[in-house]
Each structure stands twice: as C-alpha cells, then as structure tokens.
C-alpha cells in the first residue's frame, strides 16, 4: 500500500489578500456586489480596492451622501477588513476630497501586515479638473471633427456639461467614444503627487527597511508613458528592495516589468469595459499569495467562480 505524504505546512507568516479594481466610471449593477461575494467565499486576510468606488463628479452634498450610502451598503457585506485607495471619481473636486477626509480619513497612508509594507498613494493630490483627463490624447489620433471640437473646448466647458456631452457621445457615437477612451487610458496619465506626499512616502520606505516586500497602490498608473517625477522618486527610494505596484483607472489589464519590478494595471470590477485587447478586457479580483520567495498573483475572473451549490456562476 502506498501512503500519501502529508503536505508541508506553509510558513506562519504567509498570507493572502485580494485587490479589487474600479467599480465606477459607468458602473454596471451587480458586478462589484459579485466580487464582494466571491471575496467572502475565498476568505483572504483583507481586501484593498484601487479607487473609483462612487461615480462622483458632483459638488452637491446630498448627491454625494446618496452615492456613498449606495457603496457603503454594498461593501458592508464584506467579511474581511477593507482598505481603500482614492480615485478620480471619489475625490474629483475639493468638495469630494473634503467628504472623503470626513468619512475615511487619510488620502495617502501605509500599514504593515506581518513583515510586508503596504503603501497607498493618492494620484489626485490635488484633484484634477475633469478636462485634464482628456489631455493624454495625442494630436495624431484620428477622431471625427465633432469629437475633436469637444476636446478643443474641454477646458472652458463646465464640469457637468462636459460629463453630459461625453455621455451623449457614448450614446450617439460609441465607436468614437471607445477610441477616445482607449487613447486617454493608454497615454501618460495626469496623475498628481504633491511634494508633501512624495516626501512622506520616501520617509515611510526608509523607516520600514526591514520588510521582506512592499506593495504600492495608486489609482492612476502613473508609470505609463512619460511617467511622473514624483513616482520616479518613490521608486528610487526602494534602492533595489523588492516591490510590486498596482493601479486601476484604465479599465483594461496590462502588466509591465519596469526595472525588474511588476507594475500591474488592473482591469475592472464593475466599471465600463474598455476593449483595447481581447486579453485585457474582463471583470476580476486579483488574488495575491505572499510567500517566502515573494508574491504569487492570480487574476480570477468573476464568471469563473461557482459556489458549493454548483449551477451557473452568476448564482453567487
């Protein structure tokens, strides 16, 4: 008789956590809710979300209250600790920024779990005008005249009017809308990192030089295109120490290896789907297993998880 060998125990300080991506930017009802249910099923140590929890882009307190209540009702079902990253839809103006601070506290912060450092950055420091989101579009992009005209006057268009025009473009000319959005998402990002925040991040990295790994979270992938001088400083502060960076915002998955470090742009967890490539367009959670040799990362599509009852995956 052959007796199976008992499996080896994992290290006591190995752990798993989940990364959730953008819920909003044209949220699709039920998708983020499904991600919460799947996270509960899989029981990680905690979850962290990379921004855009509400639709935002309003200065009306009553509207903001309703948006946050809707999201809080969803995330209240989560059975593990929840950490959040501010996105442009969450803190798109000073009123929204103040509301974030009132509700959630710090916009950029850090924490340790076991001997791993988690560094959360705010790429809206200070918040950008909505029109700035359109500036990564290069002059060589082939857009219809009515779309080019919209971009030309974006700086002078009131925020709510600009939103209405973009939503009208989505309805009237979805192909041009997708072309425009893809160009915006793949270019240099209009990320903002204040001197105060960058200096604080450098100090945190220096103070926690005993960790075995660092995870850096931000909403906009500030490493894209021409990059960002503040992020360059933060990356240099590691002085060769291992780290992994996560961002969202672009609604399309992309993995970049920069100086030997993984920089991961997540797809969506409910936000509008941007079909740049057949490989980057999906709704998912990202499962990270921290091991003795570094993180192991698996992207789990929401349609790929079925509970113990079986049946269609949407039953969760």
103-135 pLDDT, tens per residue?
Answer: 999 999 999 999 999 999 999 999 998 888 887
Q: How far apart are CA 235 and CA 247, in angstroms?
A: 15
pLDDT at 313 over 60: no
pLDDT above 70: percentage of residues in the chain: 91
Task: Return the bridge partners of 297, or none.
Answer: 288
pLDDT at 312 over 70: no
Q: Which of 104, 82, 118, 264 is nearest to 201 (CA)?
A: 118
Which are the contacts of 70, defined by CB distance < 8 A and separation ≥ 6?
54
In this prediction the pTM is: 0.93
Q: What is the structure's pLDDT at 160?
A: 84
**How confident is residue 170, by pLDDT bands cut at 50, 70 and 90?**
confident
Which are the contacts of 259, defined by CB distance < 8 A and separation ≥ 6?
235
What residue spans define the domains of the chain?
Answer: 15-127+193-315, 130-186
Q: What does DSSP assign to residue 143?
A: -
Q: How far apart are CA 197 and CA 195, in angstroms?
A: 5
Higher-confidence residue of 168 and 246: namely 246
Burial class (CB in 10 A: 0-12, 13-18, 19+), 121: buried
CATH code of the domain made up of 15-127+193-315: 3.60.21.10
Q: What is the structure's pLDDT at 315?
A: 46
Contact 269, 284 (CB under 8 A): yes
8-18 pLDDT, tens per residue?
Answer: 555 667 999 99
Q: Can you give the three-state secondary structure of 230-257, one letter per residue?
A: HHHHHHHHCCCCCEEEEECCCCCCEEEE
- Following DSSP, what letter does each residue of 71-117 receive, concatenated? HHHHHTT--S-EEE---TTTSSSHHHHHHHHHHH--SSEEEEETTEE
Q: How far apart are CA 159 and CA 94, in angstroms?
A: 13
Question: Whole-angstrom distance between the N-terminal and C-terminal Cα of the chain?
Answer: 41
17-66 pLDDT, tens per residue?
Answer: 999 999 999 999 999 999 999 999 999 999 999 999 999 999 999 999 99
Q: What is the structure's pLDDT at 204?
A: 98
pLDDT at 246 over 70: yes
216-225 pLDDT, tens per residue?
Answer: 999 999 999 9
């Amino acid at each position: 008789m052959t007796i199976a060998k008992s499996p080896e125990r994992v290290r006591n300080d190995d752990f798993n956590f989940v990364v959730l991506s953008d819920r909003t930017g044209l949220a699709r009802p039920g998708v983020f809710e499904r991600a919460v249910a799947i996270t509960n099923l899989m029981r990680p140590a905690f979850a962290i979300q990379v921004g855009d929890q509400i639709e935002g882009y309003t200065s009306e307190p009553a509207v903001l209250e309703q948006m946050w209540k809707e999201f809080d009702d969803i995330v209240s079902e989560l059975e593990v600790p929840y950490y959040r990253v501010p996105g442009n839809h969450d803190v798109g103006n000073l009123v929204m920024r103040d509301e974030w601070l009132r509700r959630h506290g710090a916009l950029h912060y850090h924490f340790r779990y076991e001997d791993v450092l988690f560094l959360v950055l705010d790429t809206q420091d200070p918040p950008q005008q909505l029109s700035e989101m359109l500036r990564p579009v290069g002059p060589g992009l082939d857009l219809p005249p009515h779309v080019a005209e919209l971009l030309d006057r974006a700086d002078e268009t009131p925020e709510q009017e600009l939103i209405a025009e973009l939503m009208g473009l989505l309805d009237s000319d979805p192909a041009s809308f997708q072309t425009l959005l893809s160009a915006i998402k793949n270019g240099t990002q209009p990320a903002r990192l204040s001197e105060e925040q960058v200096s604080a991040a450098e100090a945190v990295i220096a103070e926690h030089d005993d960790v075995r790994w660092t995870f850096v979270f931000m909403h906009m992938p500030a490493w894209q295109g021409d990059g960002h001088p503040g992020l360059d400083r933060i990356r240099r502060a590691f002085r060769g120490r291992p780290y992994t960076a996560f961002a969202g915002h672009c609604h399309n998955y992309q993995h970049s290896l920069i100086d030997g470090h993984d920089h991961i742009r997540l797809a969506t967890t409910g936000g509008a789907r941007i079909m740049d490539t057949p490989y980057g367009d999906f709704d998912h959670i990202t499962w990270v297993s921290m091991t003795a040799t570094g993180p192991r990362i698996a992207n789990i599509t929401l349609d790929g998880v079925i509970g113990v009852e079986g049946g269609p995956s949407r039953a969760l």
